[in-house]
């Protein structure tokens, strides 16, 4: 922080000094109100124990895009790192109960955007959110998870491992004080932070009533681009997404649609595309045979063994090599699809 020297100085500064530093009216009002309700010194002690920190809107590290929304968080709690390149961010959100199609689309869009230096923002929820975070990490890029609870609690709990990976390659952030529970009323506020951090929001799969649609609405109100991936008209999981497209959301079928719309086609100097671990071509008859069997729909390893008449050890070994080349991907329960 250059204007005040420290967050503590900013927190205790006068209203006139806060105005002088350039805070917008709503952010200033939020900050003044929060000072009456929150003991920041006590909060600072709690978050220091977590190895975390807090940011105020006047802080240089506070995300620029978020600072300029009407109701920017008064205090932002952070575990991990925020980077100047996080201004090139796209949010990917959707249903907690996606189809395989939805999970694959979220993963692939996130992976390919991340490999192009785009930070992926989502909410760490089950379904589309966590698929997006995993894709970003596998694309060797950055990702930010926004919580609807205090950053001392990982929610859902079964996402503890990926949350740790996110801390190492991005950040967990929240506007809720340490100790806050993941209450339902927190999530609409969380959603407006997800869109506020981003240049655009991609809705992958969302039924008619979905929190992802709230994020799309707040994104539009914030002047962000809203993108949607079309889904089957027979799938309830895509009913809300298809409706967004009818209402004017930009239909996208490839990463380039988003990069072009947001003018993100040039990589920042500090970012390079993800490099495959090995050559991306099959180099044995076994690899070619198995690869021909794979598609974007999962197939169980037992079906591969039965159809190829290869031994189980050879099939599993070959699939491992294809995974290393990112030509195949294990989607769980011993099922594989194209990488």
**DSSP states along 41-84:** HHHHHHHHHTT-EEE-TTSTTS-HHHHTSTT--SSEEEEE---G
Distance (Å, rounded) from C-alpha 302 to C-alpha 144?
37
**27 found inside a domain:** no
Supply the pLDDT for residue 215.
94
Q: Is residue 197 scored above 90 in pLDDT?
A: yes
**215 found inside a domain:** yes
* Contact (CB, 8 A) for 132 and 120: yes
Q: Is residue 209 scored above 80 in pLDDT?
A: yes
86-94: average pLDDT:
96
Q: Verify that 225 and 331 share a domain, yes or no.
A: no
Q: Is residue 292 scored above 70 in pLDDT?
A: yes
Supply the pLDDT for residue 35.
62
Q: Verify that 91 and 227 share a domain, yes or no.
A: yes
Q: Verify that 255 and 295 share a domain, yes or no.
A: no
Q: Is residue 161 scored above 50 in pLDDT?
A: yes
Number of domains in the chain: 2
Q: What is the mean pLDDT of the chain?
A: 86
| Boundary of a domain, candidates 261, 295, 330 | 261
pLDDT interval class at 297 (50, 70, 90): confident
pTM of the model: 0.74
Supply the pLDDT for residue 170.
97
pLDDT interval class at 89 (50, 70, 90): very high
Q: Verify that 89 and 122 share a domain, yes or no.
A: yes
11-18: average pLDDT:
65
pLDDT interval class at 277 (50, 70, 90): very low
Supply the pLDDT for residue 119.
97
Q: Verify that 206 and 297 share a domain, yes or no.
A: no
Supply the pLDDT for residue 4.
58
Supply the pLDDT for residue 7.
57
The residue among 144, 86, 134, 126 whose CA lies nearest residue 107 is 134
**44 found inside a domain:** no
| Boundary of a domain, candidates 222, 246, 261 | 261
Q: Verify that 305 and 207 share a domain, yes or no.
A: no
Q: What residue has token string 């490999």?
A: 115
**308 found inside a domain:** yes
Q: Is residue 247 scored above 60 in pLDDT?
A: yes
Supply the pLDDT for residue 175.
95
Element (H, E) at 300: strand 299-300
**267 found inside a domain:** no
Q: Verify that 108 and 243 share a domain, yes or no.
A: yes
Q: Verify that 293 and 235 share a domain, yes or no.
A: no
Quote the domain boundaries for residue 124. 84-261
Distance (Å, rounded) from C-alpha 40 to C-alpha 77?
11
pLDDT interval class at 72 (50, 70, 90): very high
- More confident site: 30 or 242: 242
| Positions of E strands within 71-118 | 76-80, 89-93
Supply the pLDDT for residue 332.
79
Q: Verify that 148 and 103 share a domain, yes or no.
A: yes
pLDDT interval class at 272 (50, 70, 90): very low
Q: Is residue 266 scored above 90 in pLDDT?
A: no
Q: Verify that 190 and 313 share a domain, yes or no.
A: no
User: Checking phi first, is residue 6 left (phi over 0); if not, alpha (psi -120 to 50) or beta?
Assistant: beta
* Contact (CB, 8 A) for 274 and 141: yes
Supply the pLDDT for residue 37.
59
Q: Is residue 6 scored above 60 in pLDDT?
A: no
* Contact (CB, 8 A) for 299 and 305: no
**49 found inside a domain:** no
The residue among 63, 1, 52, 2 whose CA lies nearest residue 27 is 63
CATH of the domain at 246: 3.40.50.450
Q: Is residue 105 scored above 50 in pLDDT?
A: yes
pLDDT interval class at 216 (50, 70, 90): very high
**218 found inside a domain:** yes
Q: Verify that 218 and 133 share a domain, yes or no.
A: yes
Lowest mean pLDDT among 30-44, 166-180, 263-277: 263-277
Supply the pLDDT for residue 174.
97
Q: Verify that 174 and 298 share a domain, yes or no.
A: no
CATH of the domain at 317: 1.10.10.10
**77 found inside a domain:** no
């Amino acid at each position: 922080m250059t204007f005040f020297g420290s967050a503590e100085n900013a927190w205790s500064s006068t209203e006139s000094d806060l105005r002088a530093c350039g805070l917008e009216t709503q952010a200033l009002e939020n900050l003044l109100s929060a000072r009456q309700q929150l003991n920041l010194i006590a909060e600072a002690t709690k978050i220091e124990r977590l190895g975390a920190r807090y940011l105020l809107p006047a802080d240089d590290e506070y995300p620029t895009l978020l600072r300029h929304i009407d109701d920017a968080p008064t205090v932002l709690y952070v575990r991990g790192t925020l980077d100047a390149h996080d201004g090139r961010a796209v949010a990917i959100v959707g249903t907690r109960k996606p189809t395989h199609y939805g999970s694959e689309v979220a993963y692939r869009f996130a992976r390919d955007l991340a490999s192009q230096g785009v930070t992926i923002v989502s909410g760490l929820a089950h379904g589309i959110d966590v698929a997006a975070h995993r894709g970003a990490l596998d694309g060797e890029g950055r990702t930010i998870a926004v919580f609807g609870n205090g950053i001392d609690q990982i929610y859902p709990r079964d996402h503890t491992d990926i949350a740790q990976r996110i801390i190492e390659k991005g950040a967990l952030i929240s506007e809720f004080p340490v100790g806050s529970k993941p209450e339902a009323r927190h999530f609409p506020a969380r959603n407006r932070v997800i869109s506020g951090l981003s240049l655009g929001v991609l809705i992958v799969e969302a039924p008619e009533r979905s929190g992802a649609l709230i994020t799309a609405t707040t994104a539009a109100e914030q002047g962000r681009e809203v993108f949607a991936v079309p889904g089957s008209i027979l799938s309830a999981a895509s009913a809300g997404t298809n409706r967004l497209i009818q209402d004017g959301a930009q239909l996208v079928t490839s990463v380039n649609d988003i990069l072009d719309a947001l003018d993100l086609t040039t990589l920042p100097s500090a970012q390079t595309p993800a490099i495959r671990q090995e050559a991306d071509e099959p180099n044995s008859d076994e690899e070619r045979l198995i690869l021909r069997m794979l598609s974007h729909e999962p197939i169980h390893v037992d079906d591969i063994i039965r159809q190829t008449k290869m031994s189980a050890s050879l099939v599993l070994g070959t699939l491992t090599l294809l995974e290393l080349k990112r030509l195949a991907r294990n989607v769980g329960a011993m099922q594989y699809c194209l990488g």
